[in-house]
Amino acid sequence: SAVISQKPSRDICQRGTSLTIQCQVDSQVTMMFWYRQQPGQSLTLIATANQGSEATYESGFVIDKFPISRPNLTFSTLTVSNMSPEDSSIYLCSVRVTGLTGELFFGEGSRLTVL
């Protein structure tokens, strides 16, 4: 497994602002992902964070709205840009420790409320 730290754990944001969420892992991992969990809902993949290159986004998510960085094998950021109340969600960083299949481990999430 891996220890995954996310910051901030929660925040209240104003409409139109942007917020960057950080994800730090205690060991090098092969894959990092960002998920969104809207209130009372399941988890939806936003993008795969690729080390040293542009993230791979899922349908319905775009780089301008959710820019992602992954400068190395232990760290990634997700920015939620120009926020609206519809962006109020839990944003979760997840990692796969080795290989391309198998278990994903999750951080505790960043709960954003947009007013």
Partner 1 sequence: GQQLNQSPQSMFIQEGEDVSMNCTSSSIFNTWLWYKQDPGEGPVLLIALYKAGELTSNGRLTAQFGITRKDSFLNISASIPSDVGIYFCAGQLPGSQGNLIFGKGTKLSVKP
Binding residues for partner 1 (CB under 8 A): 1, 4, 30-31, 33, 41-45, 48, 56, 58-59, 92, 94, 96, 100-109, 111
Cβ closest to partner 1, residue 20 vs residue 48: 48
The letter for the amino acid at 108 is E
* CB contact at 8 A, 101 and 90: no
Cβ closest to partner 1, residue 17 vs residue 54: 54
Q: For residue 61, give the nearest of 41, 39, 80 by alpha carbon.
A: 80
The residue with tokens 């109020």 is 88
Cβ closest to partner 1, residue 73 vs residue 104: 104
Q: How far is the CB of 16 from partner 1 (least distance, A)?
A: 27
Q: CA 20 to CA 93: how far, in whole Å?
A: 12
